[in-house]
Structure 1
Amino acid sequence: MDRLSHALDEALLSDLECPVCREYMVPPINLCTNGHNICSKCRQKVQCCPTCRAEFSSIRNVALESIARRLKYPCANRQTGCLDLFSIEHIAEHQAVCAYGPIECPLNKVNVGCPWKGFKSDLKEHAKAAHPRYFSERSTFFSYMLQDEAALLFCFGEVFLSYKRIRDGRFYCVVQLIGPSSQASKYKCEFKLHVVDEIEEICKTFTVRSYLEDFETSFNSGKCLRLDALVVRHFVVQNVLNLTVTLSTVQRRASITQPKNSTGVLKPGKYM
């Protein structure tokens, strides 16, 4: 049955191939007056139908769009080795950070201005050579400056971008995984502000965010470190900030199944 389903998907995907870019179309799918399809990106680049030279219609191929939403799409980087399949809702998110496709240096997100573009597998070597001040292979990162700061952390076989910012009297710090949100949720980050040899400390733990999310969205989500700058200054001693960021994997708690007797009724006693 799986083999038949896969063959059917392959046949339907062939109908979804754009005649211009040869990539699989996703909604909205445009039509010409003779009923030929074209993807929305290519529709903006050509004046007439590439198949029959007819004018484009304002009508969309709603039937084909409905089919597209039920299919699993292969990654655009399939020619370089990615064999994963994704629904229409998740294919774009995956392709933006696919290990088999080229990505920009993540530090461009913090305005470093690096021209490098390559595969994720080569990012560690690039960062170590070109950005040693931002590079770390540890899961724990120490921040000593009360100013904007970034770091690339290579641990757990993944790449993380840590970013700290102070704006309008607010202190923000977030860790993002160079990957989709589904993968980012497997990790958590602990932010700890403390004063050496004193009792006071602030410790908060959040799930790691995805690199595909812009910083403003992360900061406004409330799911990252966000404090009043005056509070943070309490943890600055002789112009040195004591902030420790620790990454770890999320340990999922196994559900506990209560034992039953032969009648299917919960046993009384310590479980009740």
Structure 2
Amino acid sequence: MTSLSKRVVPDIILENLTCRICCKYLTVSPIGVHPDGGNICGRCLYGKKSSPTCLFECMEDLNYHSFQGFIPMVLLGYASYPETLFPCVNRFEGCNKLLPFSAIKNHEKICVYKKFQCPLCQFQGVGSQLIQHFRTGHKRYLSSENPVFILKIDNDFSETYLFRSENTLFLVKVEYIKDLSQFMFETLCLGTPSRKLGRLRILFRIPSGSISTYNDYILLSDRLEISRNCRFNMTFKINDFRLSETKNVVCSYNLFYTE
């Protein structure tokens, strides 16, 4: 257990300080600055001699600067104190280590991790990278905990969302088949969840035809055994309900853990 004298870097800080190249946290020095803006972590700069090159985005020489001079000030405020702890970049894969800044580089050499494939493109990365990738490349498909989806019912569709529940990531694929008036939800758990039992509750808010009035329909799953790579599905048909002229249905997706 972390002692009271220790403090953990808040997620809101950590997840806004990521490497422009690899999308991982800026927790490995030296930290560089890209000429077009943004920082580059020591994983991408470390070991390069003379003028490093941005292998993933461009062929321009990088402005290599030392950690001490160009680390973002908010990160410097945390990294300068040995009592400050940082989570491992593989936290969503099940690593619960909390480490001082100086220990992260060596820890990552032995930490077991697994890359995930982005369902929307060819990007691959660990969970923390996937969050940043969605934030910059698929922002409309990144949802906060207990997300709300606006689902269109005028045509068939298939969308995949990434959302975070506590220290676990989930991919939620939502499909709608108009001819069947049917929604299908497939949820995939990425990594290792901190708690393994839960229930899924999906609330559909369907316009009743009059102004600002709705009919609410709730789907509640049986108890779920949530574990790495587990999948669970739920289906809902709306053909028995009278819809107004609106083409959207509001859907709240909530995952509750049980002890």
TM-score category (smaller protein) = 0.3 to 0.5
Q: TM-score, normalised by structure 1?
A: 0.43
Q: Which has the higher helix share?
A: 1
Q: Which structure is richer in relative contact order (CA contacts within 8 A, separation 6 or more)?
A: 2
